[in-house]
Structure 1
Amino acid sequence: MSALSRFLEKNGRPLLAILALLTLAGGAFAQWSGAASLSAQFWFAGGSVVLVVLLVEIVRSLMQRQFGLDVVAALSMSAALAFDEPLAANIVALMYAGGQQLENFAEGRARREMTALLGRVARTAMCYCGDKLEEVPIERLVPGDRVLIRRGEVIPVDGVLAAPAADIDMSALTGESMPVRFFEGDQVPSGCVGCGAAFDLITTLPAAESTYAGIVRLVKSAQESKAPMVRLADRYALWFLMATVIIAGAAWWLTGDRLRALSVLVVATPCPLILAVPVAIISGMSRAASIGVLIKSGGALETLARVRTAILDKTGTMTTGRAGVVDIRTVNGVEASEMLRLAASLDQASNHASAESLVAAAKARGLALSKPTDVTETPGSGIAGTVDGRRLVVGGSNFVKEHSRTGDPYDLGESIPPGSAVVAVSMDGAVAGIILLSDQVRGDALETIAAFRNADVSRFVLASGDRADVVRAVGTRLGIDTAHGDLAPNDKVDIVVRERERAPVMMIGDGVNDAPALAAADVGVAMGARGAAASSEAADVVLLVDDLGPLAIAVSLARRARMIALQSVAVGIGLSFAAMGFAAFGYLPPVEGAILQEVIDVAVILNALRALARP
């Protein structure tokens, strides 16, 4: 492509609008100066140039088997020039070219949050190469590389924090205004910004597979999508054109006044369908992206607006997906916090999931952990060792009982909540107590359910592969309508299919086993940008945050965007048909009709931009 072609492709529409405006102003000045013939030449030139460009675009669209409503604008300009009404032709030309610019402005505003996501992609990283730091393209980074993240830099790839602590701006992914503190060993997603002191990061994924790369791919796909309402507008373009021609022809035939036909054509441009619908839909998608909810397509947003039933996976969705300490029971006067501290200190030497949960719980409570010695571990059973001079045994009840001289962990096992795991602890040969671990319900789960109900999602179903009694207990606590446990992936699909017979269904999950159900639902929602790739690919909506709260807001945003789009169409088309009626009966001359249509266009587009606001 030549430089001239690239320039025209980028700046052609603004230049066309400027040309139409200049010829209109030039003709008006000539008319004021008494040069009526010169003014007509100005207006004729402006209308002709824009008409030629429009005809070229129409031919290109027809060659691609696309038929749009711009044909009405071409007809009105052609008729104005043919009927010796150059001023009307120039005004329609300005209306068309200015409408293109208005569309660019409105879509730019509507896409701003998604465009901002694309603009944050890091291109290079400061990588440690031996004893030196070298700036390298992020494509060269491989798992295990150590990179330096300086203050204000975008994190280029996913990695593990290799510093005691770091403050990170997560707003690009989560919309959170306050920085989040990460600690050594924490997973750090790409696309965020280091906002404190510089720190090192050990990369865990190549750039192409990192969190932010996936987000960028999803955003590009969303921007290229075309909503069903927009396709519907294209489908009815021919019918609208036929109605316009019939009304214009009837007005001319019945009255013999060709200017009435011209006036009908001038006011017939259906910008509410051409511009308002995509602007409202894209505005809703962009606003959702700003709070961490990436809707992949306009069609997904429209469907999300109609959802009435939510099917939720339990683990990682309504619960944290990580075991936490829910109770500590001790005997013989042992302090609960001290027993947890000693057990967690010993468990630093184990990579068992329960050990990681104990260590995390102790650190969260600010307990100072000691270094264990003389450690021996029996995989799957427990661990023994010395901490601060005390001999400890930590593990399952049987294992601890066998390695203790006195006491029985089972004596402390009354009224254990369903689904809880028991970690027994022995100190110096005597059973000291038990620690109960459980996958905890999210702290904001009840508020989230209430927010969904406020967004007109009226039915909730919990579907999980976990034990049925555990799932029912969580469902009862959250006020879920129906809870199903012990489900295989195909069982979840069956539940989705049954619920779809009642109402449009939204399925929310975060694992590979959820992917078939996500694909079967009207709207599939994948939890977390770092969740399983299969679930993110199958989903229509991806949460960039590990939180369901923004999804409830996104449902309200979707309903609002769809309502505004329909409102813009109904009001805009209604006003256009009313103006066509006035024009057909001779109450609206061509020039005034063109001005009125431009006012209608601006009004419906500004109304569509209301979808950017939070409901």
Structure 2
Amino acid sequence: MSQSPGDRIKTLLLLSALTTLAIGLLLLLAGADRGATLIWALGVLPVLTGLCLEILRSLRQGEIGLDIVAALSMTSALVFGETLAASVVAVMYAGGTFLESHAERRARREMHDLLARVPRSATRIGAAGLEDVPLEALAPGDELLIHQGDVVPVDGVVLDGQAFLDTSALTGESLPVKCGPGAAVMSGATNAGEAFRLRASHSAGDSTYAGIVRLVEEAQRSKAPMSRLADRWSLGFLAVTVALAGLAWALTGDPIRAVAVLVVATPCPLILAVPVALVAGLSRAAQFGVLVKGARPLEAMAHIRTLILDKTGTLTDGRPQITSVLPHADLPEAEVLRLAAALDQGSKHPVAQALVAEAQARGLHLPVPAGLTEHAGEGVSGRVDDRQVLVGGADFVAARIGATVSETALPMAADLDAGAVLVAVAVDGRLAGHLVMADPLREGAAGLLQALRRQGIARLLLATGDRAEVARRVTAGLGLDGVRAGLSPDQKVLLVLSERKNGPVMMVGDGVNDAPALAAADVGVAMGARGAAASAEAADVVLLVDHLDRLRPGLEIARRARGIAIQSVVAGIGLSVLGMIAAALGWLTPVEGALLQEVIDVAVILNALRALRIRPGIEEISA
């Protein structure tokens, strides 16, 4: 990442302070004491001026920071002739701000890499052949050629062949994902295989990757409540520092002890360890497919006590899937599915698409249907391999083959799971079989909920607008603390607000109807891979991959990043107080105190950067 103008000024101040310190030491060795004193004083002034301007800016914003202590220490050292100590403090202060800036650049490197991967153009297939066009010129329906190594520029659908996509930058998945014809592809994935054709489903500005970039930029501009709390602590620390320095001077009559106390108390980047640790946590969470919009929700995630889950698309997959194929007459199971799926290739209905996906997953050959007729809301009819095929509900199939509804209904239909969909299939005027479809629970959901309890989640609730019997059947055996069914969006909000009495609440959802509850929760989490744009906009956290289990590393990273931040602050302030006491007792000179304090500051910044190495699921050894 290139340096910003502010970073360049910090670099120049550090170089200036280092140069004048070195020249002054050479003059001192040559016996030119007055020259050394003058050079050191001149070297301190630019740093002190910049520091005073920063203090004024903070005061205008209503903030009182520990930079005031640094200004007092440099000023008092100059006033009482301790110019070498003042020069050391200037070097260490400039070095501390430079190190903090470098640390934040390193912590944001992964996010910057995400931004840098945004493609600027795409290869469009037009009437005249291939043409390179800017992303702004792309529109839904355009056909694109995605070359090997290209970043997919817009959301779209694979038209032909097999696409092998590296989604690690988006989801953290280490292995390429194979996508067949008709599969949806997120922008931002990298083509790890041969070139393939893609039909754009969104414009560049409305695509997944563009939305992720906007969320990342928002995350980078955030400031955590914990940082503001540290600023409030600074007022108390400032009072203690001034009182201890004044007491040391009053009891001993030696102003140099007061200077030493102020120099030791110079915190420089100490409190900045908090945002460094949290920004590092944001970066680390993004590597696991958990995009946290800022340091505020990251810190809040560490305190979550209640988790409320939506059902459809969150706790369940959100797409109908075939749970069983029940053939009748003399057709085998695979043939019933093949004929039904071949016919449904011409339909955009979710049930039809699920049939096609299941047949393709089983490797069945699907011929192109002929004479296709789609009867809205009822079913599809047409010919497959010169056979007349009907696919739809029992009423539709019964009416078409001249049978009664009872003859086309499954005898044990009453025993089906609540919420299951029954699809009848007829071939050449006879009932051929039934396809049972349902929205299944996500794989590993029970284990995930148990793991979340071990991470400190005390209450687990389901909130859904679906029927109560469906919700109870789907969640049986999950050990939830409550199931709230038939809820409207405003009722979900009321549930979130009422649960706050038990502690901070996290709400997870994916639909437009979940957006108000996501906004009302202490932390709202959206299923970003297939969820509605409204839910992603309202949420504080977006799961970039369609796996609910990403909550687990996200929560653990938040908890441990906050723990590292607190550890850095407590350790830094504690060691500073010990150093101040030693200086007040005359055990440290101003120069020694300055060197000691800046060693402490550098150590806590480096400690804060440990958040970049958090490995969820592996206990971290405290430093």
TM bin, normalised by shorter chain, reads over 0.9
**Equivalence for 1:512:** 512
**Equivalence for 1:601:** 601
Whether the 8 Å contact between 1:528 and 1:546 is mirrored in structure 2 is yes
**Equivalence for 1:559:** 559
**Equivalence for 2:265:** 268
Partner Cα separation in structure 2 for residue 154 and residue 296 of structure 1: 23
**Equivalence for 1:369:** 366
Whether the 8 Å contact between 1:506 and 1:522 is mirrored in structure 2 is yes
The structural deviation recorded for 1:405 is: 6.2
String of CA shifts for 1:495-520, please: whole Å, max 9, x gaps.
11221111211000001100111111
Q: Secondary structure at the match of 2:573?
A: helix
Partner Cα separation in structure 1 for residue 433 and residue 197 of structure 2: 40
More off after superposition, 310-319 vs 565-574: 565-574
Partner Cα separation in structure 1 for residue 147 and residue 160 of structure 2: 13
Length-normalised TM-score, structure 1: 0.95
The structural deviation recorded for 1:298 is: 1.0
From 238, 241, 245, the equivalent of 2:242 is: 245
**Equivalence for 1:340:** 337
The structural deviation recorded for 1:333 is: 4.2
String of CA shifts for 1:112-146, please: whole Å, max 9, x gaps.
22222111111222233431433332122222223
**Equivalence for 2:502:** 502
**Equivalence for 2:548:** 548
More off after superposition, 132-141 vs 253-262: 132-141
String of CA shifts for 1:363-402, please: whole Å, max 9, x gaps.
1111111233344443322333332233332211233234
**Equivalence for 2:481:** 481
String of CA shifts for 1:330-368, please: whole Å, max 9, x gaps.
233431111111111222233332222111111111111
The structural deviation recorded for 1:52 is: 2.4
**Equivalence for 2:133:** 136
Whether the 8 Å contact between 1:405 and 1:430 is mirrored in structure 2 is no
Partner Cα separation in structure 1 for residue 317 and residue 546 of structure 2: 9
| Pair 400,110 (structure 1): closer, same or farther in 2 beyond 3 Å | same
Whether the 8 Å contact between 2:7 and 2:98 is mirrored in structure 1 is no
**Equivalence for 2:468:** 468
**Equivalence for 1:284:** 281
Q: Secondary structure at the match of 2:516?
A: helix
The number of residues matched between the two structures is 610
Q: Amino acid of the residue matched to residue 472 of structure 1? A: R
The structural deviation recorded for 1:8 is: 5.8
In percent, how many aligned pairs have the same letter? 54
Partner Cα separation in structure 1 for residue 344 and residue 566 of structure 2: 60
From 5, 16, 21, the equivalent of 2:18 is: 21
The structural deviation recorded for 1:560 is: 0.5
Partner Cα separation in structure 2 for residue 214 and residue 505 of structure 1: 25
**Equivalence for 2:591:** 591
**Equivalence for 1:295:** 292
Is 1:187 paired with 2:198?
no
Unaligned segments of structure 1, at least 5 residues = 1-5
The structural deviation recorded for 1:326 is: 0.4
The structural deviation recorded for 1:147 is: 2.6
More off after superposition, 242-251 vs 217-226: 242-251
| Pair 9,352 (structure 1): closer, same or farther in 2 beyond 3 Å | closer
**Equivalence for 1:198:** 195
Whether the 8 Å contact between 2:107 and 2:609 is mirrored in structure 1 is yes
More off after superposition, 92-101 vs 244-253: 244-253
String of CA shifts for 1:509-540, please: whole Å, max 9, x gaps.
00110011111111100111552121111111
The structural deviation recorded for 1:487 is: 1.4
Unaligned segments of structure 2, at least 5 residues = 617-623
RMSD: 2.0
| Pair 204,428 (structure 1): closer, same or farther in 2 beyond 3 Å | closer
Whether the 8 Å contact between 1:272 and 1:568 is mirrored in structure 2 is no
Q: Secondary structure at the match of 2:415?
A: coil
Is 1:36 paired with 2:33?
yes
Q: Amino acid of the residue matched to residue 214 of structure 1? A: G
More off after superposition, 336-345 vs 453-462: 453-462
**Equivalence for 2:425:** 425
Q: Secondary structure at the match of 2:440?
A: strand
| Pair 374,215 (structure 1): closer, same or farther in 2 beyond 3 Å | closer
Whether the 8 Å contact between 1:88 and 1:591 is mirrored in structure 2 is yes
Partner Cα separation in structure 2 for residue 202 and residue 394 of structure 1: 28
Partner Cα separation in structure 1 for residue 13 and residue 365 of structure 2: 71
**Equivalence for 2:574:** 574
Q: Secondary structure at the match of 2:595?
A: helix
Whether the 8 Å contact between 2:268 and 2:598 is mirrored in structure 1 is no
Partner Cα separation in structure 2 for residue 204 and residue 400 of structure 1: 34
From 209, 228, 232, the equivalent of 2:229 is: 232
More off after superposition, 39-48 vs 9-18: 39-48
Partner Cα separation in structure 2 for residue 258 and residue 296 of structure 1: 49
The structural deviation recorded for 1:157 is: 1.9
| Pair 374,9 (structure 1): closer, same or farther in 2 beyond 3 Å | closer
Q: Please show how residues 73-112 of structure 1 align to structure 2 within 5 Å.
A: 73-112=70-109
Q: Secondary structure at the match of 1:191?
A: coil
Q: Please show how residues 390-401 of structure 1 align to structure 2 within 5 Å.
A: 390-401=387-398
String of CA shifts for 1:295-320, please: whole Å, max 9, x gaps.
11111111111001110001111111
Partner Cα separation in structure 2 for residue 165 and residue 77 of structure 1: 66
More off after superposition, 46-55 vs 291-300: 46-55
The structural deviation recorded for 1:439 is: 0.6
Whether the 8 Å contact between 2:100 and 2:269 is mirrored in structure 1 is no
Partner Cα separation in structure 2 for residue 377 and residue 211 of structure 1: 32
Partner Cα separation in structure 2 for residue 424 and residue 128 of structure 1: 41
The structural deviation recorded for 1:273 is: 4.8
**Equivalence for 1:3:** none
